[in-house]
A and B are shown apart, each in its own frame.
Chain A
Amino acid sequence: MSRFGSFPRRLVHVVIVLFGITLVTFFLLRLIPGDPALAILGSSYTHTRAVAIDSTLGLNRPIWSQYGLFMGRLFHGNLGFSFFYNQAATTVIGNHIAPTIFLIIYSAVLALVISFPIGFVSGLRRGGVTDQASRVFFTLSFAMPGFWLGIILILIFSVHLHAFPISGFGGGLAGHLYSLFLPALTIALGFSTVLVRSLRAATITTLQAEFIDTARMKGVGWSQVLWRHVFRNAVLAVVAVYGVNLAYLISGTVLVENVFSLPGLGTLLVSSVSDRDYPVVQGVTLLFAVLIVAINLLTDVVQAALDPRVGQEIGE
């Protein structure tokens, strides 16, 4: 059996989920009470435009045929027309995608930097200072709304210390890294709660494994044992947790972008709700869901690459 034995089956599953995602996104527009064409057009309502919308959405046809039309347009990269921006919805979304992707990657990396040392040390020295302090801190941060934490960080670092800007995306790579530090930290702290907990648990379990005793008895130095055996195995156990929670992190970006007024997808989503820009809401929802499917797939691949047992177990 190959290393990626379960991969084809996984891909079939992904296709089914993607199909389901389009179905949910399609039905979102049906939730609008009243006439969708009227709602989509809003103040830019004219009779000819309404007729045009009726025919693109196929509102006078049976529902399965409407779904067929929706899928047909989707395959041509057409998510509908944003009458608020007077542009194709895909163009509007494309203009807002960069800050969000940047923020997701930035906070995912920052979360690793924060949680790996803390989680590992907490597991090694159970009940130690790091363990106790991190437990108190992360119990609190679990009950903390991410957006509120962001505001507290602004209050400390921007208002009082003047160390970071209150809002904005900045220019150039260095500018982005500087301007997005507080937003990324906000998300990363929330994300770290789960990571620290699971890395701590994984470290404790690994320390009790027999191969650790074997390695010690062979005369391997303690730091070598920690690095080559404990750490690597603990990290392996956390990869799946990391992947699953990366998906939750995306929800965090929506809020944090709004706190720091970043011109990303989350801000676009929320402003589109009040602008009643339904095609954009539909498009952003679809995009986020596809992003999550991609992340989950990537997690599986990484896990299979790091640990040959994973692919085998599922494959058989």
Chain B
Amino acid sequence: MSAGGTGSGDLSTGDLTTGGMRAAWAASPSELLMKAAAKAASRRRSTVRRRLTLIAGLVMLAIAIVAVLLAPVLVSASPTTIDALHPLASPLTAGHLLGTDQFGRDVLARILYGGRIDLAIAFGATSVTLVGGTIIGLVAGYLGGRVDAILMRLVDLFFAFPFLVLIIAIVAMLGPSIFNMFIAIWITSWVSYARIMRAQTVVAKKQQYVLAARALGYGPVRVMFRHILPNVASAVIIFSMVDAVGNIILAASLGFLGLGAQPPAPEWGTMISDGQNYLLSSWWLATLPGLAVVFVGVAFSLIGDGLTDLLRAGER
């Protein structure tokens, strides 16, 4: 969906750019010609660099996903088997590359298996709210009127709460578990997408191509999803990468507070929380799972940065 959408987005915005350039040509030809050439050269350079950013992010994310899925192949130790004889072994101990925790469980195994939960939350929470929020914003922006007013007041309302506090409150009422954490994120996180998408739709619906589609007699659903959505989707797609960073941190945060994954299930946040008790003697317990969070977070950030310039390159 996203690939086809951005393709047609490039086409229409590309036309606009040429139109703007033609007007500029008329103003002062020679000087602008040189400026445009210099600009194009620097843009080519920066596009190459941005592609590298995107590729670096994708490679990092791929490494994380493969490592997490192939955990049983990569480490022989089980993440939950207790070994009372070898507790708190430091990293680089034979058989335990990243050491063991207070119960003698292998830290590397726990990080790899734990990543399954965190990555699942990053993808599960982000994708559902991306789709839901986008549809709500699209409908609100396109229909306008009372539907728009009600939905946007609802969005305002959610923005009045500190995000984390509202999620904690909802989890508190439903009872702490991973599934209820998903529900809390789904209830609250769609609002950002709805707000961004609505703003884009309000602008887009006055554009020629939308008016043309409506003049052809296309119904609102077709105009919204076949014409407007592909042209404005880049904004929410870029935001979803920022949101994914937020969600991976959120998953770890709730685990840390004891409101997400419940022990003995390995999860990065709960591992950091457990490790904090052994900070004085065993630094690796709290620090290493955090590095895993940072690794995945940076991966999503780089993808977001790369996408931003790639998707917006055609708009300039």
Contact = CB atoms under 8 A, between A and B. Distances in A.
Given A145-B293, A255-B257, A270-B258, A20 B168 contact: no
Contacts of B256: 145, 147, 255, 258
A155 interface: yes
A278 B172 contact: yes
A251 B276 contact: no
B168 A270 contact: yes
B78 interface: no
Contacts of B165: 250-251, 254, 269, 284-285, 288-289
Interface string B157-189: 100111111101111111110000000000000
A281 interface: yes
A148 B272 contact: yes
A259 B276 contact: yes
A282 interface: yes
A76 B53 CA distance: 56
B253 A147 contact: yes
Contact of B272 (A32, A147, A250, A292): A147
A234 to B, nearest CB: 23
Interface stretch (A58-66, A110-118, A136-144, A300-308): A136-144
A31 B174 contact: yes
Contacts of B175: 33
B162 A289 contact: yes
Contact of B276 (A33, A151, A248): A151
A219 B294 CA distance: 49
A69 B60 CA distance: 54
A293 interface: yes
Contact of A151 (B157, B166, B279): B279
Interface size class of A (residues with CB under 8 A): 35 or more
A154 interface: yes
Interface in A200-259: 247-248, 250-251, 254-255, 258-259
B294 A258 contact: no
B156 A273 contact: no
A131 to B, nearest CB: 16
Interface in B285-307: 286-287, 290, 293-294, 296-298, 300-301
A163 interface: no
Contacts of B161: 21, 24, 285, 288-289, 292
A31 B294 CA distance: 33
B233 interface: no
Contact of A143 (B162, B164, B174, B245): B245
B124 to A, nearest CB: 19
B298 A143 contact: yes
Contacts of B259: 270, 273
Given A254-B162, A270-B257, 19 more contacts: A17-B157, A17-B160, A20-B157, A24-B157, A31-B173, A33-B174, A139-B301, A142-B245, A143-B245, A144-B249, A145-B252, A152-B287, A254-B164, A258-B256, A270-B258, A273-B176, A281-B172, A282-B169, A284-B169
10 contacts: A20-B153, A20-B156, A139-B298, A140-B294, A144-B294, A151-B272, A281-B172, A285-B169, A288-B165, A292-B160
